[in-house]
Structure 1
Amino acid sequence: MSLYRTELRRLIKRRFTRWMTLAGVLVLLAVLAGVFLTNHKIGPAEQARAERQAEQQYQEQVRRAQQERTACEQAKAAGTPNTDRRFPPECEVISPPPRDVIEAKWFLPSTFDFRASFEATLIPFAAILALVGFVVGASFVGAEWSTGGMMNLLLWRPKRLTVLLTKLAALLTGLLTLTLTSAVVWTAGFWLVGTLRGTTAKMTAGAWQSFALTGLRGLLLVLAAAAIGFALASLGRHTAMALGGAIALAVVGQFGVGILLSMANVRFVEAWLLPTYALAWMQKKVTLENWQSCNNASYFGECKPETLDITWQHSSTLLVVGLVLMLGAAFWTMRRRDIS
């Protein structure tokens, strides 16, 4: 019997895998339903309503400006001192804003523009599936160690590295299938949202290519998270090793380091945090701003903060190095340590 098929079947039949996958799918469906319910299709009726509301807002501004100007003129006529500086020296400067300043689009309901908004939805999609992949990957190998299944398996197939690599291949294959299937449903769902609750206009081949590349980066992020969870659990020979390491990294390594660096007034604190690199990987670039620096102030005193760009190349370097170190350590310990 093929070891790969056996491991793939074991992955699929595990109850934890099924329940965790179901939980991730339900969260994705909840996000999709939330976007559907909070958006509306813009038609002539909505546009006319927005125009009326914009006109009402403008008339309200005109009324308030007239009231303030009248109060200013009365105060000047009565000789009331302007100690609170409520009114300007000349009452004539009190006037309503231009009509074109108040735009009707401010009053339109939220609508889903598929071309403009779909790419942003791939970020939570990848994040949710990456979490599922990390936990499933850690549990898949961690349960084998804690229950003694790994020792029994090695009696059948004594080649340690082959067994561990086959388990990893089965895990990545399962997550690849799950992610691709979910991506198709996710895209179709948001296309439906755009059709019924927004617009799908202006879609071009270039837009689809951009979505595909972002989705590909999301897929690689999911597989990388699963491999990291797998490696950590293999190193600790228990699922808790991976989960505990992830919690420690999130609480101590992220929040703790962030607070410490902020107290030390370090520039670009976000550059030391992993979520920044995950976001840069998905968005291709994240620009950090240091508002404590005004090194390019204009003649009128405008502050232009110092910036730092974190690109997907930086993220890919960090991701590859982390994967190589963790998987390398997992395979090395699997080869060197006793199985007991």
Structure 2
Amino acid sequence: MSLYAAETRRLAKRRFTRWAVLGTLIVLAAITAGMFVTNKPTTPELRAAAQVQADQDYQLALRSAAEERTRCAAAQGTTEAANYPPSCAELYQPTREDYRAEWYMPPTFDFREQFGTMVVALSALLAVMAFLVGASYVGAEWSSGGMMNLLLWRPRRLQVLNTKLGALLTGLAALTVLVSAAWTGAFALIASLRGTLDSMTPGAWQSFVLMEVRGLVLVLVAGAVGFGLASIGRHTAMALGAAIGAIIVFQFGLGTVLALAKVPYVEAYLVPVWTTAWMDKSVVVTDWESCNYSSTQGCEPNTMSITWPMAGGALAALLVLVVGAAMWTMRSRDIT
């Protein structure tokens, strides 16, 4: 059996891998079931009932407004007048636009409008799972002594580590593709039964496919980073500690310090903005401390766009830094 086949088998047989994948699939199944239950198809009966409810609330609002104007008129010249505007005509008057029937409809799943959020949720969950599986996969090998035993009959260090990484990424890619296909099919079914697919065009389908491809890249980077950090520290805890430290120090701590220092575009220093830009193709961050005064628009703050190529460059830099460091330490440090 080749080293790659052996590593692929080892990865698939690990209990942590199986439980992590199973747990992720259960969460995804729960989300899918929740979306199916909470959304309902738009029927003529539901639309008619919503229209009736909207009309009733509109008439009730009209009566309330009329009573308020009566009280306002009666209060003129008394101490109660302070509770009303100078002219009773300034009181709020409900309009038909304030009570639209669609606002009284139960939620319905519009595939084109809502599926992008579902792709982001899928990618985020799979990325977390990939990070944990990648870190545990190589971390357990180091802490148990399995890596040292393997190198006794396969003394080529970099080849061994690269083979393990290749097996991990291949497994993650296969899992992500299968789950993404099932995820898309499930929500297409939900839309057909509990919503609408009418607005989907070939261009819209292509956009979602490309979004899922970017999600696949995010999952692979997360798995490789977890693998690299655990290999550098030679323990799973190294990767988990680095992740927790990054969240606490670089997200909460750094964000707070930059906000207090009134640094422009604070959000641009936080990881979630870059991952969102990668998935959604662009994110606009605002410098709330700036002001471009206009006689028509007033004070308008400066904005900056973070695009998906910029976010992709950041992901690539992170990948090269962590995996490169793992390869360097594998080659240069003693195996003990």
TM-score normalised by the chain length of structure 1: 0.95
Specify the alignment match of 1:81 in structure 2: 79
Match of residue 161 from structure 1: 158
* Whole-angstrom CA distance in 2 between matches of 1:66 and 1:191: 48
Tell me, in whole angstroms, the C-alpha distance in 2 between the residues paired with 1:333 and 1:95.
70
Structure 2 residue identity aligned to 1:56: Q
Residue pair 2:262, 2:289 contacting (<8 A) in 1 also: no
> For residues 30 and 95 of structure 1, do their structure 2 counterparts lie closer, same or farther at Cα, with a shift above 3 Å needed?
closer
Alignment of 1:11-22 (within 5 A): 11-22=11-22
Aligned residue in 2 for 1:306: 302
Instruction: Tell me the alpha carbon deviations over residues 144-198 of structure 1, each in whole angstroms, 9 at most, x when there is no partner.
Output: 1100000111111111110000000000011011101101111111111111211
Shifted more, 93-102 versus 200-209: the winner is 93-102
* Aligned pair partner of 2:182 in 182, 185, 188: 185
Q: Give, as a single letter, the amino acid of the residue that structure 2 aligns with 1:49.
A: A
Alignment CA distance shift 1:188-1:162 (3 Å): same
Cα deviation, residue 118, structure 1: 0.9
Letter in 2 for 1:152: N
Deviation at 1:45, TM superposition (A): 1.1
Mapped partners of 1:189, 1:278: distance in 2 = 25
Q: Which whole-Å CA distance do the structure 2 matches of 1:108 and 1:303 have between them?
A: 38
Q: Report the Cα offset of residue 95 of structure 1.
A: 6.2
| TM-score using structure 2 length | 0.96
Tell me the distance in 1 between the aligned counterparts of 2:192 and 2:69: 49
Tell me the alpha carbon deviations over residues 220-253 of structure 1, each in whole angstroms, 9 at most, x when there is no partner: 0000000000000110011100011000001111
For residues 1-340 of structure 1, the aligned pairs below 5 Å read 1-76=1-76, 79-82=77-80, 84=82, 86-94=83-91, 96-299=93-296, 302-340=298-336
**Larger displacement relative to structure 2 (45-54 or 283-292):** 283-292
CA distance in 2, matches of 1:58, 1:305: 38
Distance 1:10 1:255 in 2: 37
Alpha-carbon distance in 2 for matches of 1:94, 1:160: 79
Aligned amino acid, residue 25 of structure 1: L
Q: Which amino acid aligns with 2:320?
A: V
Unaligned runs of 5+ in 2: none
**TM-superposition CA deviations, 1:19-77 (whole Å, max 9, x none):** 0111111111111112112111111111111111111121122111111111122222x
Fraction of identical pairs, as percent: 53
Q: Contact conserved, 2:123 with 2:215, CA < 8 A, in 1?
A: yes
